[in-house]
Structure 1
């Protein structure tokens, strides 16, 4: 079936998201490994993605671990250094699709406050036709409700949606619902898929 809308994940598709890399640089790999072994930082971030307040959640988490308090607060205070850099080729693909008048949506696990902050740093995040942000929706990938909410809101048949995400579990849920999918590993592979679907020419996808 012809594609009627293209859906981008954001983390590691449009913006690199590597907290461990940031901490290796900030506090050293050994100390980072010790902290991540003791503190469930990704679990903390999951709460933010579910709609809990960005600042309150991280600062409260930090207060539970006095030994790591300052380092945990870095997740908030230096967050934009973790959500960096942008992936320029992917941003160009987003804009090329929109130039072709193809609807482009975001479907992302992202908190409310930090997503709003990210849009001030990465202007292309404001350019989606629709933004499906987990923190706003109080539902997260890979669980079914957020996919259902997208389908209902956009009114497009699942088989006419093409979704790119770097996490295979997110892709599998979408595929099970009948979406067309692309497991993102690098922007050139995504460009090639968009070309093969007839959505962009090779020149447009460069």
Structure 2
């Protein structure tokens, strides 16, 4: 799932996904805790909550979209509203070592960008809890872009926006389909399965020392 760049040529910029790379995003875990696994499974079978979230990530309004789905599904109204009203509890905790890697790269003058499927209002809300979300050198947030990964258009927009050649970008994401779409455009990629592997990849690319990646 990883694509390694040209030997001896460091990437010019590093791109981080956010959900499950910098912040855990596990809605099912939240609902299992709140309503029990059996009810959670029934609700997720009855309502396509991930597609509801995709609509927000494409730029639809966070509150209006979720509340409309809740009102259209009265048997699950209160539970669906939790997706909005208790949203920060779905997007927690921070993956602390990943944040340290981001900051270590920036401390060495390496540009760090985000590329995330995230809504406009939900991102602004998240940033009040997680200030590092305002620290990227460039933000590529799907809600503002009107398209979500793994659509090829979003990667084209990143390339145009940052001006870095695809082969000089390195991107980590927790979803294989998002990585594959980037690799198809010539990006260097790393399937995120934990910060340890990502740290090792950044060392292997010559971007950080072992000590800096610790």
The TM tier, using the shorter chain, reads over 0.9
In the alignment, the residues of structure 2 paired with residue 15 and residue 123 of structure 1 have an alpha-carbon distance, to the nearest angstrom, of 12
Is 1:112 equivalent to 2:123 in the alignment?
Answer: no
Q: What does residue 98 of structure 2 align with?
A: 90
**Selected match of 2:204 from 196, 199, 202:** 196
In the alignment, the residues of structure 2 paired with residue 93 and residue 120 of structure 1 have an alpha-carbon distance, to the nearest angstrom, of 21
Q: What does residue 17 of structure 2 align with?
A: 9
Unaligned 5+ segments in structure 2 are: 1-8
RMSD (Å) for aligned C-alpha atoms: 0.5
Counting only pairs closer than 5 Å after superposition, residues 166-181 of structure 1 correspond to structure 2 as: 166-181=174-189
In the alignment, the residues of structure 2 paired with residue 159 and residue 98 of structure 1 have an alpha-carbon distance, to the nearest angstrom, of 20
Q: What does residue 155 of structure 2 align with?
A: 147
In the alignment, the residues of structure 1 paired with residue 125 and residue 80 of structure 2 have an alpha-carbon distance, to the nearest angstrom, of 19
In the alignment, the residues of structure 1 paired with residue 203 and residue 10 of structure 2 have an alpha-carbon distance, to the nearest angstrom, of 13
Which structure has more relative contact order (CA 8 Å, sep 6+)? It is 2
Q: How many residues align?
A: 206
In the alignment, the residues of structure 1 paired with residue 188 and residue 204 of structure 2 have an alpha-carbon distance, to the nearest angstrom, of 13
**Selected match of 1:31 from 34, 39, 52:** 39
Q: What does residue 41 of structure 1 align with?
A: 49
Is 1:160 equivalent to 2:183 in the alignment?
Answer: no
Off by >4 Å, runs of 4+ in structure 1:
none
Unaligned 5+ segments in structure 1 are: none
Counting only pairs closer than 5 Å after superposition, residues 70-81 of structure 1 correspond to structure 2 as: 70-81=78-89
Secondary structure, aligned partner of 1:11: coil
TM-score when normalising by structure 1: 0.99
- TM-superposed CA distance for 1:2, in Å, is 2.3
- TM-superposed CA distance for 1:45, in Å, is 0.3
- TM-superposed CA distance for 1:46, in Å, is 0.5
